[in-house]
Structure formats: structure tokens, C-alpha cells
Amino acid sequence: MLQLILTSLPYDRIPAQAVVSTFFKDVRPLQGTSALIDWRLNGRLSRLILDHRISGEYLETLMVPLNGRLRAKELLLFGLGSLSEWNEKRLGSLLESIISKSSGMRYRQIVFSFEDLAKDFMEWRNYLRELVVHLYPLAEERDISFVCRENDKWIAETRRRNMDLGVDVQIDYDF
């Protein structure tokens, strides 16, 4: 079964095995979720970029131990390529990569956010549905909990609309 948890809790208060974050290769300084995580890691991500150890190329991936800086144990950082090249087709490939790497690591609880990528509620809703489509095959093999840390207004709207994401998808709000 797939459990989807929608929350607006701060990242450092969400328990999970891994937090997934993304960044564009041509957007500096880091923005949104990646900037917050970088701050919690005392600029470690920024130093990796400045040292040319990561660049943000599309689907470039780095696993970073969080050493207690967040409640998650590890960070999976994914490059998104150029901001001008971002589109829904790339979203599908990104989700496949996130799920493949998470599955390989045997993560059962993952935190992710579309808040940095979606421009409005409707686009966010479409991204969420795309996530469920990509997660569903994995959820048939084993139970998985995917925590979406999102804009509280979008979560309230999802709740108000009683949004259905399909059979065998349990939606919970907060913890």
C-alpha cells in the first residue's frame, strides 16, 4: 500500500529515512528546499558546488549523510539541469530516478516537495498525481510512505476538495 502524507511541517521536524531535494544548475544561490537544507548543513551543499563536486546537471545525484542535522538520516540531492529546460517530461524521468534510487536503498519513508517546482495549485496537483503513477508499482511490492512537505494552502485545498489519487493510496495530513 502507498501512504502519501501531506504536511507543512518544517523539514527538521519530519522523521524519515531520506529527504529528497533538487536544484537547478543555473540558479545560484540555492533556492527553496535546497537552500534551507544547505543552511541546516552549515553551507555544505554550497561548498560542494563551489568545489565543483556537484553541478546540478540533469539527474546528477548525490547522497549526503545528515548526521542529525535533520530528522531524516540521509539527503538525496538531484540536479534538475537548466531552469529553462524544466518541463513535465523531465519530471517523469526525475520521479523514476528518485524512486529507483530510493528503492535500491530500501527506503520506506521518503520526504520530498514539489513546492519549489510547481507554479500553482493545479500544476502541483498534476505533479502529485504523476508521483502516484510512478510510485504505484513499487507500492505493490511493499508498503511505502512518501511524505510531501508542501505549501499549507495547497494542502488545505487538497483536503477541501477531498482529492482522490486512486485505489490503494492512503492520504494522510501531517503526523
E strand residue ranges, 109-163: 109-112, 144-149
pLDDT at 112 over 80: yes
pLDDT in tens, 65-110: 999 999 999 999 999 999 999 998 999 999 999 999 988 898 989 9
Q: Determine contact, residues 109/15, Cβ cutoff 8 Å.
A: yes
pLDDT in tens, 47-74: 999 999 999 999 999 999 999 999 999 9
Q: Which three cell numbers stand for residue 133?
A: 503513477
pLDDT in tens, 26-39: 999 999 999 999 99
Q: Determine contact, residues 150/115, Cβ cutoff 8 Å.
A: yes
pLDDT value of residue 167: 63
Q: Which three cell numbers stand for residue 169?
A: 493510496
pLDDT at 25 over 70: yes
- In the chain, the domains with their CATH numbers are 2-173 (3.40.220.10)
